[in-house]
Amino acid sequence: MNQTPDLFAPTPALREPIDDGAWLLRGFALDQADHLLEAIQQVAAQAAFRHQVTPGGHTMSAAMSSCGLLGWVTDRYGYRYGSRDPLTDQPWPEMPPILRQLAVEAAEASDYAHFEPDACLINRYETGAKMGLHQDKDEEDMDAPIVSVSLGAPIRFLFGGLARTDKAEGWKLEHGDVVVWGGPSRLFFHGVAPLGKRAEHPATGAMRYNLTFRKVRA
Ligand code: SIN
Ligand code: FE2
């Protein structure tokens, strides 16, 4: 009875292992992509994309916004999650249900059940923008995974190990791809190479958007 392979096995069949506890779900968000991009524009109408400054005084090349209970903020004083947009002093826009739903489903397809994201960071990359290798470690809840959704122009995603100097492997992320990491790889260094000069997608032109869903509060 159990010998017959399930030809209609759902999403897990589509996932590619990246590392321990880390998966690439190619095209997982493709069906929803147009709606996700609309939802991003709605968030950005309330909480505009901005280039934040790191504590070291470096202006980040990726423009950012956030939605959900908490948003990720960096300034001269440090990195943190806060419940208000410092630009407007208003609460961050609600996380659109379509975004939340996709994140929960991607987590589930990666064997992370009951994911309840309370923050979604939205990155917008223009030509040349990048994200250096870093760990997502400002969250209190390290049991929950990170769910990362790519929309628009393709980019090279780098996924390393627990030490900054661990060799990072490169993965091309395209429109609709989702990466999920957690468990043993929850704190692995990762980033993206500069968005290429010719990188584009009909839905976004030369831009790439990335959504990262996190559970911050334990
Ligand atoms: C991030 O780690 O915050 C962004 C990664 C990405 O843009 O794919
Ligand atoms: Fe990150």
- As for how many domains the chain has, the answer is 1
**Residue 2 forms part of a structural domain:** no
CATH number reported for the structural domain that contains residue 165 in this entry: 2.60.120.590
**Residue 106 forms part of a structural domain:** yes
Query: What residue's CA is closest to ligand 1, atom 5?
Result: 191
**Residue 149 forms part of a structural domain:** yes
| pTM for the full predicted model | 0.94
pLDDT recorded at residue 81: 98
**Residue 41 forms part of a structural domain:** yes
The reply to whether ligand 1 has any atom less than 6 angstroms from the CB of 66 is: no
- The per-residue pLDDT for range 117-156, each reduced to its tens digit, is 999 999 999 999 999 999 999 999 999 999 999 999 999 9
Q: In what order do the strands lie in the sheet with 131-134?
A: 131-134, 190-192, 155-159, 169-173
Please, is 128 exposed, middle or buried when counting C-beta atoms within 10 Å of its C-beta (0-12, 13-18, 19+)?
exposed
**Residue 1 forms part of a structural domain:** no
Distance between Cα 215 and ligand 2 center (Å): 13
pLDDT recorded at residue 15: 94
Distance between Cα 190 and ligand 2 center (Å): 6
Residues of the chain with pLDDT > 90, as a percent, come to 94
The mean per-residue pLDDT over the stretch 58-68 comes to 98
What domain range includes position 190?
Answer: 14-214
For 39-52, the DSSP string reads HHHHHHHHS--B--
pLDDT recorded at residue 1: 45
Q: Which amino acid is at 138?
A: D
